[in-house]
Amino acid sequence: MSDLMTAAVYHGRGDIRVEPVPVPEPGPGDVLLRVAAVGVCGTDAGEWDHGPVQIPLERPHPATGHVGPMAIGHEFSGTVVAVGEGVDPSWIGRPVASCGAAPCGACGACDRGESNLCRRYAGIGLHRPGALAGFVATPAASCVPIEGLGISLDEAALAQPMAIAVHNVRRAGDVDGQLVLVLGTGAIGAFLVLALKAAGAIVLAADVSEERLGIAGEMGADELVRVAAGPGDAATLLAAVGERDLRVVFEVSGTAGGLATALEVAPTGARIVAVGIQRRPVEIDLGRATIREQSIIGTNALVREIDFPRAVELIASRPGGWTRIAPEVLPISDVVDGALRPMSEGRAPAIKTLVDPWAAERRPIRSAG
């Protein structure tokens, strides 16, 4: 390999440059991947549109020490081409999915199996160089080999957002046989529907978009509810639920109205999982939630040791493939105009946009075989 590679480097708000940078060295515990595919998500679009939010452009990151411009990309797959200190060389040559998490492994949160809440958490592509590049260094412990699973490296790059959905479901507790409502079936919502079905839930999926509802249906939603655009359409949802025992509401839209609607629709004793991140403080009637014994549950990222291997299984479990979720794979030169800009303007053409840093032009997603 040459010493330089092409990467999509974040230099600040609205300033991502596709430019040559040095190939990273795998550190202790790391593998070096030749990147196959990278998912672009709302977090990346947020950094581009109104960041830096997480990227340590001005001050060194407390865990990684990185400061300054940095390649982004945290949902990825690739083939191991080198290993760092302490990593078994038998990793070399293996195709893997990576969740891009680099927790410390030694703090209280890591000890109790909540590495997503690690005190010294670092994310690839957010706090140290990411995968929108020819090569990326990532912890071996964040990688799951995919040989023999019947999935392609393109599909393996969808395992990270699937793991977020697996984590969201786990935060809700047992959902087996329970009626649950998913408010908002965009990117995470679509993966969430599949993860909920796999956990045995009966899934009501609600969205303003007929097209997104169609995808939720393909992912296995039992019932689809089209709600009116604008501030919460609780009446339609309450009518759809009727007298049934709704136990969990997943608020995925992240809109202020979405959380209010979730609380209004959730009956007594229900759990409300706030998946979508509220951008500003909202006023909610906590007294009502108290008397109704409602639980409002936060959720953050994924636990690499638990949620990620399960997510890879779920990606492999879908017989129809992933063309409907991620139809196209873009070259890295298209990352701004083909992915970040349309996402931040809310007009992304697909549920998920993938990038192949080695591709010269757009191509369809590849399935295994």
Binding site for Zn ion (CB under 5 A): 41, 43, 103-104, 107, 110, 118
**Rounded least distance, CB 256 to Zn ion, Å:** 22
CB of 107 to Zn ion, least distance (A): 3
Least separation in angstroms between CB 68 and Zn ion: 22
Q: State which residue, 178 or 353, has the beta carbon closest to Zn ion.
A: 353
Residue 38 or residue 240: which is nearer to Zn ion going by CB? 38
Instruction: Give the SS3 label for residue 285.
Output: coil
Nearer to Zn ion, 251 or 305 (CB): 305
- d(CA 302, CA 100) in angstroms, rounded, equals 10
SS3 63: coil
Cβ-Cβ contacts under 8 Å for 247 (sequence gap 6 or more): 175, 178, 179, 180, 269, 270, 271
**Beta strands in the chain, from DSSP E residues, in sequence order:** 4-12, 15-22, 30-40, 70-71, 75-83, 95-98, 101-102, 122-123, 135-139, 143-145, 179-183, 202-207, 223-226, 246-251, 271-274, 295-297, 328-331, 353-356, 363-364
What SS3 class is residue 27? coil
Q: Closest approach of Cβ 21 to Zn ion, in Å?
A: 21
Closer of 31 and 110 to Zn ion (Cβ): 110
Distance from C-alpha of 112 to C-alpha of 348, rounded to nearest angstrom: 38
- Rounded CA-CA distance 46/14 in Å is 10
HSE (side-chain half, CA atoms, 13 Å) at 210: 0
The CB-of-178 to Zn ion minimum distance in angstroms stands at: 27
Closer of 41 and 252 to Zn ion (Cβ): 41
The distance of closest approach from Cβ of residue 160 to Zn ion in the complex, given in angstroms and rounded to an integer, is 6
Taking the CA atoms of 243, 231, 292 and 185 in sequence, report the sign of the dihedral they define. Answer: positive
Residue with smaller CB distance to Zn ion, 152 or 353: 353
